[in-house]
Every structure is written in structure tokens, then in C-alpha cells.
Amino acid sequence: MKMFLISDNVDTQTGMRLAGVEGVVVHERGELRNALETTLKDKEVGIILLTEKFGREFPEIIDDVRLNHKLPLIIEIPDRHGTGRKADFITSYVNEAIGLKL
């Protein structure tokens, strides 16, 4: 299985290409939907890497793919500007999941 990147900037795509991961750069809702549909048709793709910006701006598109397709796995990655998450997002996530404050 292979990975495929859907990014919102060329720098992330360039870095991933250096690591051997092919991908596309998209900026708008329609482009993202088309890129996802095309990638979902490729049965060799096991992991889709998306920059976090898409998860924040178009969560309904990403959630739809996650709920209706077992594969590929969708992973949100930070772009060159870093992550948009809080510093303690993992602790907060665990606290929510188990219902206890750590």
C-alpha cells in the first residue's frame, strides 16, 4: 500500500515528495472533494495524508469519507507553519475519552 498527500501548500508537497510520497495541492472545497474521490478510486492507496487546514475548514467532507470508507486511513498532518492544536491537545483528548482528569 502507498500513501498519498492532499495539501494546501506547495512546500508540504515538496517535502513529502522528497520522502517518496506523491500528492496534489488544492485550495478550494470542490478541488478537495475531487482529489479525495480520485484517491479513493486508487485501491493501492492505504493512507491519505491531509494538512490540518482541511480538517478545520471542511470537516464535513473529511468526516464523510472517514464514516463511509474503511480504507484508506485519513491522517491530518501539520503544514510548514506547525500545528493549529493546543499544546496539551493529547491530554485533553484522553481526558475526554476516559472521563477523568489526568
- Identify the segments of the chain with pLDDT beneath 70: 80-93, 95-96, 100-102
Among the listed residues 18, 53, 24, 19, the one whose alpha carbon sits nearest the alpha carbon of residue 36 = 24
Cell of 16: 513529502
pLDDT on residue 52: 87
pTM for the model stands at 0.74
- Domain-by-domain residue ranges, the chain? 2-98
How many helices (H) and strands (E) in the chain? 5, 4
Beta bridge pairs of residue 77? 51
pLDDT on residue 26: 93
User: Which amino acid, one-letter code, is at 64?
Assistant: D
Contact yes or no for 7/13 (Cβ under 8 A): yes
Pairwise CA distance, residues 24 & 43, whole Å: 17
At the top level of CATH, which class does the domain 2-98 belong to?
Answer: alpha beta
